[in-house]
Structure 1
Amino acid sequence: MALGFVICERYGCLSEGDSLRSHTAATGPSETDKSQEEHTHHHGGHQESGEEHDHHGNPDHHQHQHSNSLYHHGVVISDSVTCSGVGKEILEDGGNSVDAGIATLLCLGVVHPHTAGVGGVFSGIHYNRTSGTYKGFHSTFPKASSAAYGIPATLQGVKQLHSQFGHLKWEKLFTGATRLAKEGFLVDGSLARALKSNQARIIQSSLCDLFCDRKDTIKALGSRVTNQKLSELLHDVSLNDHFLENLATKLAEDLPQTERQDFVENVQQCRGEINDALVVEKQEYTIFTAASPLSSRIISDLLQRAREQNLPPWSNTDLNSSASTYINLLSTARLIYNNSLALESQRLEGLFTLKTAGSHIGVLDSAGNVLIISTSLNSSFGSMQLFPSTGVILSDFFSHPTDSALLWSCPLVLKLKHDDDGDDGEDGGDEEEEVLAIGVVGGLSAPFAAAQIILNKMNNGKSPLESVASPLLHFETGSPDSFSGCVSGVSNGTDVYRQLLEREEQMQSVEQCSDTTLALILQSHAGHVGAYGAPVANAYTDGY
């Protein structure tokens, strides 16, 4: 019989489908058959069904398709489709997670100048799977700025990061950002919304040189923007390993003479600080955080309280029925924030003025190494000052952006311990570990949202996609006297927002939460890497 099948196949007696079915009947389902499951990729926030890939470069293997946002080797997620593509190209060129993350960050500084750039700050976490090490990093500052702008610290920090963990040459990481600044980029949805909401201020500032079509008209969605001076600065920095002195002097050219010396000294003293990640270890999980002891304490306390109160799972389908759950969660968070801030001799009221706008990047490479970077200019467009000689927009981080100010950023790695049901050991088996990377950026709610994502995964058994897309409760910044919450979530692929009305214990639909939190999650599983983000309108994955 076997010989007959071989002869028939050789001479075309059987169709391809018949041949495969005959083989399956004789031998049972193969790994190849399992890989034929139909899925879709997520490129730049748009689903493209039917894209096929060779299995790990083997031309003899049947082609197969992936689930949404899953790839074979490496993946990049950010809030820009263009920049996720830039990061993916670095991975394809042999770069590691740090190389791809830095290239993506530099790109965001060009195409999203309202949230990122040379003039801002950053923080993040790096997990090296080979060595098993977790490193947190962030910008450092010599002192607070007394001027109407913050001290730029991004380039100094990423240089330190690349020196320790990068693989490709320094200049290679600037190629995408330099090209976009020189040749131009199209205004995307995120930048268009920021331009519209800040229109009056932009028209009255030097930013109009970049973002106005005419003196009184802001560039619209799809308009082209070029920043020739920024392109020149990035090119110069890419060719100079010792760029600090030149960078400081060049930036200072656009300042009043009386401010230049102090500014130059501050810029030259900025560095990137890299330390072992902060660790919160419990029986079922370990969390490695990079932002600050304050964020770590808030997350840990929220997880403990939520588990003690045994809060039930919630869903998008009937949020009103979950209103009481959210009210309890909001009250718990309010108490924990106040208690944690009291240990730092601060009050929650002092943080309600923080409405930080930020961007973030997640990278998972083929070796299983993870990098998450959060970056910010503080307010949208920072200080609203464009330096004409360099094309740089400085932040408005007037005070030292560490400790409590780093609440705007919450990058972490979560290691979950699962009991193996095998027969090894007297207690029922060994423990398997699942590693996920989580990043949240954008405001006071960052550690609060991170804790909820962890709860979704750890307590409610949700998938990584469900964990980040399920409803998340945010603080509504404003006045402590009217302290309330807003719930964001994803329903049928669309972002939804509902205001929590505490007195009526109901939800009211709104256009958007005032807290502009962005969240992402990365996972390596079954030979693939995946990345998911929320809101979906600001989550773009690309990989290979």
Structure 2
Amino acid sequence: MILRISVTTLLPTLILSLGYISAENVKKWHAIVIIILLALEASARREEIISNHGVVATDMAKCSRIGRDVLREGGHAVDAAVAAALCLGVVSPASSGIGGGAFMLLRLANGDAQAFDMRETAPAFSSMNMYGGNATLKASGALSIAVPGEVAGLHEAWKQHGKLPWKRLVMPAEHLARRGFRISPYLFMQMNRTKAGILADEGLRSMLTSNGELLQLGDTCYNKRLADTLGVISRHGPKALYNGSVGKNLVRDIRKFGGVLTMKDLQKYKVRVTKPISAEIMGLTILGMPPPSAGGAGIILMLNILAQYGSPSGVSGPLGIHRLIESLKHVAAVRMNLGDPEFVNVSEVLSDMLSPKFAAELRKTIFDNMTFDPSYYGGKWNQILDHGTSHLCVVDKDRNAVSMTSTVNSYFGALYQSPSTGILLNNEMDDFSIPVNNSNNVPPPAPANFINPSKRPLSSMAPTIVLKNGQLKAVVGASGGAMIIAATTEVLLNHFAKGMDPLSSILSPRSYHQLIPNVLQYENWTTVTGDHFEVPAETRIALQNKGHVLEGLAGGTISQFVVHTLEDSEAVEGVVFGKLTAVSDPRKGGLPAGY
């Protein structure tokens, strides 16, 4: 169920919630005006567009337009992804940025495909026992910072495929940081949820507060230090960060903060460029990210399980959700055997996760009338619950396609912004497992994901590209930490198995399960843009009757989706040029752009 709340519905509630409003109370008046304007804008916004040439779908309309302009100038899909990702790092700093990392999946029009792994790595002075079993030390603060990889990865992809100058692609983000951008509703929510951490950090305070208080919705935010940094990177490329003045200043700030990252860590950082994993399911070819992403293999395993039920009837209604949740619990159990393939041999578990035969065996353990405790699904290890991210999708005029998920992990990462560079640092060390003394009721941590210098932590990020008969069919992905696998699978099933149109596939309320705790979480919330998402009551009752413990979730995942129409489209030299339908998830207020 999806409802959109109108201005006339919102206004009385807003006034009641704010209490008596006097002329002197400028901030509250300001907030009301901004929210009304946003609600009016929401009633006319276009979360779905159809274009013939190229499209960009991101969390923020401004960043989608920046990417679109790059395409219009003749840029490659990679060019647009670089410009849009850098933009997101400025205007949505709680979710991504150059102090973090990313996975980029690229499928070229000629059929070649690459996976760019720009995931953060553990510093040289890190170790398996560096936290002494204290998980709070790896969750935020100086020791939670891993070596950032986004700038190196974006530049490597551009170096191989870019058509426009690097400086041209960095410039829009630099200008936004210098000239300022307005606090969006979603960023405002993230700021309020992280208020104590923002107020405790000098760099975040300088950017996100005024007179000791958080900036308000619609206020203009500046990060002129970051603008200076982006300017240097635009002129000198990634060496400015990984072996230059920006890096030296960044390391000095982190060391003062108590971190262990060094210039050698930055100098040693390498982008991994590999082949995507792939599988043939439901007449489609699914391209996904290889480990240390568990997302690509997780989606393929879920789809292989669910394909056995037939579509659309086998995956529809409450029973379809039950089957999806049961398959998701199996994925959660198996994925914790994965890790960084340069440190752990994951070939056997990866082979299982991609195998239809393995999926068929798991399918036999799923019963349509009941669910089970976590131990039933065979998981040996405790879960790592990674956090927030940002996702973008790009298709250019030649039908090159990019699916990219970027992250700083938790809201505002390590809750530390380097004062001299303006770079907000990730807390990606929190995605590693660490040895702890668990109770008898909790599985032990996963050894495959233990910390090692230069190792990359396990991730749920799942950029995905779909082909049909060798032609580009769709680009999809999601943000939302450990819930990404469920969200991306649900969008794919909605469109390809249930026959929903692209927008409906995104709007459909989602359900999640992370195995531990043994709770089925379902969407039940009103978003910052006024949409209400809620799994229907009759569906919830049916799931409870099968033994699921349900819990409403005020949040979840944010997905972007591009569908390429192959039917009745023109083919030129073997490449089909159909219409492109791009959707940005209204849950975060994003809008796509195209031409």
Hey, which of these two has a bigger chunk of strand by percent?
A: 1
In structure 2, the residue matched to 1:212 is 209
Match of 2:564 among 516, 519, 524: 524
Q: Distance in 1 between matches of 2:530 and 2:226?
A: 36
Match of 1:137 among 116, 119, 131: 116
Aligned-partner SS, 2:186: helix
In structure 2, the residue matched to 1:249 is 248
Q: Distance in 1 between matches of 2:260 and 2:426?
A: 19
Q: What are structure 1's unaligned runs of at least 5 residues?
A: 1-43, 50-66, 316-320, 418-431
Q: Distance in 1 between matches of 2:545 and 2:287?
A: 38
Letter in 2 for 1:95: G
Q: Mark the CA change 1:434 to 1:393 in structure 2 (over 3 Å): closer, same or farther.
A: closer
1:439-491 alpha-carbon deviations (Å, 9 max, x no partner): 1222112122222222222322223333333233223x6x8244222147999
Whether contact under 8 Å (1:495, 1:536) holds in the other structure is no
Letter in 1 for 2:207: L
In structure 1, the residue matched to 2:66 is 86
Match of 2:383 among 333, 344, 351: 351
In structure 2, the residue matched to 1:203 is 199
In structure 2, the residue matched to 1:414 is 466
Aligned-partner SS, 1:409: coil
Letter in 2 for 1:137: F
Q: Distance in 2 between matches of 1:348 and 1:362?
A: 35
* Correspondence 1:235-384 to 2 at 5 A: 235-241=231-237, 242-243=239-240, 244-246=242-244, 247-256=246-255, 262-282=261-281, 284-292=283-291, 294-310=294-310, 322-342=317-337, 350-354=382-386, 356-384=387-415
Q: Mark the CA change 1:261 to 1:208 in structure 2 (over 3 Å): closer, same or farther.
A: closer
State the Cα distance separating 1:212 from its structure 2 match. 0.9
Match of 2:423 among 387, 392, 395: 392
Q: Distance in 2 between matches of 1:186 and 1:348?
A: 46
Whether contact under 8 Å (1:78, 1:362) holds in the other structure is yes
Q: Mark the CA change 1:488 to 1:361 in structure 2 (over 3 Å): closer, same or farther.
A: farther
Q: Distance in 2 between matches of 1:517 and 1:399?
A: 20
Q: Distance in 2 between matches of 1:433 and 1:258?
A: 50
In structure 1, the residue matched to 2:512 is 474
TM-score under structure 2 normalisation?
0.70
2:180 is equivalent to residue 148 of structure 1: no
State the Cα distance separating 1:154 from its structure 2 match. 1.2
Q: Which moved more, 1:523-532 or 1:186-195?
A: 523-532
Q: Distance in 2 between matches of 1:348 and 1:413?
A: 31
Q: Distance in 2 between matches of 1:75 and 1:445?
A: 26
Q: Mark the CA change 1:45 to 1:237 in structure 2 (over 3 Å): closer, same or farther.
A: farther
Q: Distance in 2 between matches of 1:153 and 1:517?
A: 23
In structure 2, the residue matched to 1:124 is 104
Q: Which moved more, 1:102-111 or 1:450-459?
A: 450-459
Match of 2:584 among 512, 527, 533: 533
* Correspondence 1:9-48 to 2 at 5 A: 47=44
Q: Distance in 2 between matches of 1:364 and 1:381?
A: 29
In structure 1, the residue matched to 2:593 is 542
In structure 2, the residue matched to 1:427 is none
Letter in 2 for 1:268: Q
Aligned-partner SS, 2:487: helix
Q: Distance in 2 between matches of 1:89 and 1:46?
A: 25
Match of 1:497 among 518, 534, 537: 534
State the Cα distance separating 1:350 from its structure 2 match. 3.0
Q: Mark the CA change 1:208 to 1:183 in structure 2 (over 3 Å): closer, same or farther.
A: same
How many equivalent pairs are there?
458
2:520 is equivalent to residue 484 of structure 1: yes
State the Cα distance separating 1:395 from its structure 2 match. 0.3
Q: Percent identity?
A: 21
Q: Distance in 2 between matches of 1:388 and 1:398?
A: 21
Q: Distance in 2 between matches of 1:240 and 1:445?
A: 37
Aligned-partner SS, 2:563: strand
Q: Mark the CA change 1:521 to 1:48 in structure 2 (over 3 Å): closer, same or farther.
A: closer
TM-score under structure 1 normalisation?
0.76
Whether contact under 8 Å (1:141, 1:269) holds in the other structure is no
Letter in 2 for 1:232: D
Whether contact under 8 Å (1:126, 1:369) holds in the other structure is yes
State the Cα distance separating 1:226 from its structure 2 match. 0.8
Q: Mark the CA change 1:262 to 1:512 in structure 2 (over 3 Å): closer, same or farther.
A: closer
Q: Distance in 2 between matches of 1:112 and 1:89?
A: 20
Letter in 2 for 1:190: Y
In structure 2, the residue matched to 1:230 is 226
Q: Mark the CA change 1:308 to 1:255 in structure 2 (over 3 Å): closer, same or farther.
A: closer
State the Cα distance separating 1:400 from its structure 2 match. 7.0
In structure 1, the residue matched to 2:57 is 77
State the Cα distance separating 1:308 from its structure 2 match. 2.1
Q: Distance in 2 between matches of 1:91 and 1:266?
A: 35
Letter in 2 for 1:520: Q
Aligned-partner SS, 1:326: helix
Whether contact under 8 Å (1:142, 1:269) holds in the other structure is no
Q: Mark the CA change 1:257 to 1:539 in structure 2 (over 3 Å): closer, same or farther.
A: closer
Whether contact under 8 Å (2:475, 2:562) holds in the other structure is yes
Q: Mark the CA change 1:350 to 1:406 in structure 2 (over 3 Å): closer, same or farther.
A: same
Whether contact under 8 Å (1:125, 1:137) holds in the other structure is yes
Aligned-partner SS, 1:474: strand
State the Cα distance separating 1:504 from its structure 2 match. 4.9
In structure 1, the residue matched to 2:173 is 177
Q: Distance in 2 between matches of 1:274 and 1:118?
A: 19
Q: Mark the CA change 1:532 to 1:493 in structure 2 (over 3 Å): closer, same or farther.
A: farther
Whether contact under 8 Å (1:211, 1:225) holds in the other structure is yes
Whether contact under 8 Å (1:470, 1:490) holds in the other structure is no
2:153 is equivalent to residue 157 of structure 1: yes
Letter in 1 for 2:323: N
State the Cα distance separating 1:280 from its structure 2 match. 1.1
Aligned-partner SS, 2:428: coil
Whether contact under 8 Å (2:511, 2:523) holds in the other structure is yes
